[in-house]
Amino acid sequence: MEVPAGLSAGKESSALPAAAALPNESQPTPATPVQITVLKAQDLKTIKSDVSVTLVRAEYNGAILGDSSKTDVLPDGTANYNFMTSFECSPDGPNPLDDIAQKPVLLTVIEVLQRQQRQKEKTVPLGQAVVDLLPLLQGQCSFKVSAPLYAVPTSPLESLHPEAKGGLEVTVCTKVPLLSAAQLSNGNLLSVTLEAAYSVPEAFAATGPLQNYMACLQVPAAGEKEFPLLFKNGILKLAGEKEPLPRPKKWPLANIMAPGALSIPNSFIVGGPYEDEDGELNKREDREFRIQAESTKRIVWDMERRCYLDPAAVVILQKRIAECRYWPVEVCRMPVAPSSKGKTSKADKGDEDKQIFFHGVAYVNMVPLLCPGVKQIRGAFRVFTYQDSEVFKKTKCQHSVFRDLRTQLNLTKEGSWTPGISTPLSRAVPSKTQKEDKEKITKDKDSNRRMSNAPKIQLSDATVEAENVTYLSLDGQQYVEAGTFLVMEIKLDKALVPKRLREELTRRVKQMIPPRPPLPPRTAGAKKAVEDYHNHVTSIAVAILSEYHELFGKRLPDQGAIDHQTLEEQKRQLNFELNSSGKYFAFKEQLKYAVVKIVREKYLKTTAFETQEQFQAFLSELYVYLVDQMHIALNQLLSEEAASPAPLSQTTEEQLWLFAREAEVNKDYKLASLYHQQRVAQDQRNIQYWLDYGAFCLLLEETTKAQECFRQALSLEPHHIQSLLLCGIVAVMLQHYEEAEIFFEDACCLEPSSIVAWTLSGLFYELQNNNIQAEMAFREAKKLLQAQLAKERSIPEAAEGEEGKKHISAGCVRSSSPGPEECLPAPSPVSGLSQPPCTIFMKAVEFLMKVNAVQFVHRALAHELLSLQGGPSCAYYLALAQTYLLKEDLSKCEECLCEAIRIDYMNPNVWAQKGHLCYLKRDFGKARECYEQTISFVEDAADMHFVYLRLGSIYLEEKEYGRAKQTYLLACKNSASCLTWLGVGIACYRLEEMVEAENALSEANALSNTNAEVWGYLALICLQGGRQLEAEQCYKYTIKLGLRNDALLREIRAAQQRLGFGNPAL
C-alpha cells in the first residue's frame, strides 16, 4: 500500500477514527459480516487485446480480503469469477461504520502471464474498480452494481484516458442491516467536499522541494472527542483554464493504481452561480475577482470525506452549531521528507521536528444547517492567519487540529507541542529539505517584500506549558494579502431540522380557516325570468311611489279624489323630477337585464332576426306580454300593500375604492366603512375587497375585525400569498404566534421567490428570538433581491435606444448615473414611495404601508437603519414620516420630512407629504407652497389625487376660484369623484358660471347622492335660476342629510329670505 507523501504509513488507518459511530459500552454490538461477490468481468479485451488468464483481488481498508482463482478470458472479453469474500463490520473492530461510509472495496483485475521454463509465474495489474458501500448505511441489506473498470498504467509515464474500458458485476450483502431502525431514522451521514483553494500566495511554486498541501476540520461527536476529517495531497496547478464543471469527486485513498478509479461513482462537483452560494465572496462586486482567481494559480483537492453520525452525535452536532456558528477549517503546507534507508542519522532525526508552514484557517458558518429543510452549504470562505486567540474567540476551539494529529502526521517526537512563537531555528538541527525551504523563502523575500523570513512555527521538544498563548504564523499572513479562499461543500443526508411539507402546511391552514363552500347554483328558466321581471317592476313601482309622496305628500282616502288637471300637473312634475335626477334612466337600466332574460329564456331568442318585419312583429308581441306581466305585478303589489326598499345606486368597484380612500383621508371613517362594505356586498368572493376592508380595519386598530376579513379572503383561496402574510401579521398582533408561524411558513413554501414573504418571516422569527431562522430568511430574501437586480441590469443597453430614452422616468432624470433600480415602475398610490425600494426591508415596508401594519413597519425600518451604509435614505425618512402621520405625531413627522428633503430635494412625494402635514396643522400658506412645488415636478407624486383636492380647497378658501377650478378639473381628469366634481361646481358657482356649475354638481350627485354640500349648492343654483320647486327639493335633501357647513347654510337661507322662496317653512 502506497503511503501519502509526508505521512506515516503505519498510522494511516488510525489517523481518522470512527466519526461518531461510537458503540454503547454497556451493550457491545456484535460484528456483522459484509459479503462481497464478484460475479464476472466484461470487456477485458478493450484494456488489453491479448489477455487470456486473469484473477481478481479484493481489498478493503488496507487489508487484502483474498484472490479469486485463475479464470480464462472468453473471446468476448468476459471472465466469470464467481469469487466470494467477506470482512466484518463492527463499531469496536477495525472496520467501523465510519469506514463503511468513506472507504470503498477495491477490486483489482490481475493478468496472469504464462510462465516460461523454470521461471516463476508473473502477474501484472490490469485494471481496478471500486465499490461504494454507502447503500449499507442507507437501510439496504444487499445491492448489485456494475463497477466501472479503469486500466492501470504499465509505467508512470503512460497517460491513459480516464474513461472506463470494462466493468465488474459485484453484489454486496449482509445478513442483518448494519443500522437499527432507530439509527436509520435518527442518525445521519455527513460528507465534506474540499474542492480547491484559489488566489494562493505567490510563494507557492511548482519548483523547489516537494510540498504537501493539507486541510483539516473536526466533526463534533458523542462524548468529549472530536473527529478530524483530513484532506491531503492537494495538487498545485499553475495559471490556465478553469477547472471543468461538472467534474467527479475523488476518494481520499492513496493505494489506487488506476487514476480513473479515484473518482467516486455518481458524485460530481457541479458548481453554480456565485450569488446562490452560502459562504463569502458571493456579492456582485466579487464576481470579477472570483472569475480571475479560478483561472490563476490554485490548489485542487476535489476530495470528499464522509462520516456516519449516530443519533447521539446528531444531537451534539446541532448543539455545537447553535453554540458556535463558525467551524475552523485549517490549511497548511508541509515539506515532504525524503525517505531514508538504513540507520537514521543525526541530521535525519531533524526531519521529525518539522515546521508548519503557511498555517491558515477559514471560518465556515454552519448556522444554515439549523434552518428547516437545509441539507447542504456550499461556498467560498476566506483564509486568515491562524491565531489561537482569534480562533478561540470565533469557534471556541482551544488549539489547532494539527496538534491532535501530530503523532499521525509525524510532526513531533514524543514531546508535547507548545503553542507560541517557536524557538530560533538554530535550536534544532535542520535537515536538507528544511535548509532548501528556508533558502527559497529567503530568496522570495528579496523579490517580494510581503513575505517574511522570521522564525516559523516549529514543533520542538520543548515542554513549556503555554496552552493559552497566542501564536502567529507569519507565513499565514500571506493568505490575507493574496486574498486566498477555499471552496467547499458540507452536506447531510437528512436535514437536521425537518421542514414541514407543503401538504401539511396546507392542511394546518385549512384546519384554522375552512374553505368557503361554493355558492349555490343559480336556478334558471322561463319561470325564474318572469319572477325576476315581476320583482324589478315591483321595486321600481315602490321607488316611484316614494318619489310621489316626497313631492306631493300622502293623500288620505277621506280627502276625496284628485281632479284630472291636478293629476296631469303632478304627472308632469314627477316626470321632470325623474328625468332631471337621472332616476328614470336608472329605472330603465334596471329593467333591461330582466327583459333580456325573458327574451332568452321564454322566447328562446339568442340570434339576430333575418328581416325587419320579423323583428317588428316580435317587438309587438313582446311589448304586449311585458305590459300584461307589469299589470300582474302591480296588482299583486297594491293588493298586498308591500313595499320593498329602493335600489342602491350602481357604482363601480374602482369608484367605491376611491370614495373609501377619500373618506379615510378626511377621517370620515364611518363613511369609509360603508363604502368598503358596499364593495364586499357587490362581490363577496372577491379576495381583494376583503383585503382592502381588513387593511382599513387595521387603520382603525380593530385587529379582530381585520383578522376576520383576512381569513375570509384566505378561505376563498387557501394559496393566496398576500392573504397568508396578512393572516400571519394579524396573528402576531393578537399574539397567536404558533398560527403566525404556520401562515408565514406556508407563504414561503408556496411562493419561494417572494422577497416580501421571506423578509416578513425573518421579522417574525426575530420577534420570537429565533435568530438562526431569522438570519436564514433574510439571507434568502437578499439572495432573491440580488438575482432580481442582476436580471434587470442584464437588459442590453442597445434595446433602450432613442425611443426608450424618451420614456425614462423623472427619477432617472434626477440622477446623473442612474442604476437600473431607479428606473423600475412606480409603486402603487398607497405606498407613497417614489423610487422603488432597493433593499429587502424597504420592499417589506412598501407592502406593510399599504395594509397599515405599522408595528411591522417599525421593525423593518429598524433593520433598514442598521443595514444602510452612509446613513438613512430619503425613502427611509419618508416611510417613517408616514407612520408618524398615521399616529398624528406631527412634530416627529416634520423632523423626518425635513431630513428627507435635505437628502432628495427633488422628490415630489416628500413635498406632497409635507403639504399634507401643513394642511393638517392648518398652515394653509405653507401647505399651498408644498403642493404647488409637488405639481411643478415632471414626475407626479404617488398620491396626486389628494394633492389636487387639498390644493383646490385652499384656492377656494383664498377666493382664487379660477385656479381652484383648474386644479379640480385636473383631479377629475385623473380620477373623478363626488368631491372633485363638487370642487369644480363650487368654483364655477363663485365665478357665476351657472350652467357649468350645475353640470358639475349633477355629476357629483350622480356619483354620490348623499353629499349634503352638493345638494346645498344645487339649492343655490335653483334659487338663482328662479326654480322654486327644485330649490325646495334640494334644500330639503340638504337639511335631511345634515349639512355641516354652517357658512353655506347661512348663505342658502339668506338667499331664500331675499328671493322669498325655496324654504317650505317660509
What pLDDT, on a 0 to 100 scale, did the predictor assign at position 418?
31
What pLDDT, on a 0 to 100 scale, did the predictor assign at position 491?
94
Q: Which residues make Cβ contacts (< 8 Å) with residue 242, sequence separation at least 6?
A: 294, 295
Residue 265, pLDDT > 50, answer yes
Assign 407 a pLDDT band (cuts: 50, 70, 90).
Answer: low
Task: Report yes or no on whether pTM surpasses 0.75.
Answer: no
Residue 821, pLDDT > 50, answer no
Residue 472, pLDDT > 60, answer no
Which comes out higher in pLDDT, residue 485 or 464? 485
Residue 620, pLDDT > 90, answer no
Q: How far apart are the C-alpha atoms of 40 and 521, rounded to whole Å?
A: 70
pLDDT digits (tens, 9 = 90+) for 529-544: 888 888 888 888 888 8
pLDDT digits (tens, 9 = 90+) for 269-296: 998 888 888 889 988 888 899 999 999 9
pLDDT digits (tens, 9 = 90+) for 1-17: 333 333 333 333 333 33
What pLDDT, on a 0 to 100 scale, did the predictor assign at position 228?
86
DSSP state letters, 602-618: TS---S--SSHHHHHHH
Comparing 67-71, 196-200, 611-615, 790-794, the range with the smallest average pLDDT is 790-794
Q: How far apart are the C-alpha atoms of 243 and 221, rounded to whole Å?
A: 34
What mean pLDDT, rounded, does the chain reach? 80
Percent of the chain with pLDDT over 90: 39
Torsion of CA 655, 661, 667, 673, to 10 degrees: 70
Q: How far apart are the C-alpha atoms of 513 and 714, rounded to whole Å?
A: 7
Which comes out higher in pLDDT, residue 808 or 318? 318
Q: Are strands 142-151 and 166-174 parallel, antiparallel or unpaired?
A: antiparallel
Residue 957, pLDDT > 50, answer yes
pLDDT digits (tens, 9 = 90+) for 134-150: 999 988 999 999 999 99
What pLDDT, on a 0 to 100 scale, did the predictor assign at position 484?
94
pLDDT digits (tens, 9 = 90+) for 502-538: 788 778 787 777 766 665 555 557 777 888 888 888 8
Average pLDDT over residues 558-564: 68
Q: Are 469 and 345 in contact (CB under 8 A)?
A: no
Residue 456, pLDDT > 50, answer no
Residue 928, pLDDT > 80, answer yes
Which comes out higher in pLDDT, residue 347 or 112? 112
537: helix, strand or coil: helix
Give Cα separations from 764 to 445, 680, 736, 737, 772 (angstroms): 55, 30, 12, 9, 12
- φ, ψ for residue 328, nearest 5 deg: -85, 135
pLDDT digits (tens, 9 = 90+) for 85-126: 999 998 777 788 888 998 999 999 998 887 665 667 788 899
What pLDDT, on a 0 to 100 scale, did the predictor assign at position 448?
40
Residue type present at position 538: T
Residue 879, pLDDT > 60, answer yes
- φ, ψ for residue 526, nearest 5 deg: -65, -40
Q: How far apart are the C-alpha atoms of 252 and 214, rounded to whole Å?
A: 12
Residue 336, pLDDT > 90, answer no
What pLDDT, on a 0 to 100 scale, did the predictor assign at position 457?
35
Q: Are 429 and 350 in contact (CB under 8 A)?
A: yes
Q: How far apart are the C-alpha atoms of 622 and 533, rounded to whole Å?
A: 13
Assign 796 a pLDDT band (cuts: 50, 70, 90).
Answer: very low
Assign 240 a pLDDT band (cuts: 50, 70, 90).
Answer: confident
| Among 985, 994, 983, 996, residue whose Cα is nearest residue 955 | 983
Comparing 458-462, 657-661, 703-707, the range with the smallest average pLDDT is 458-462
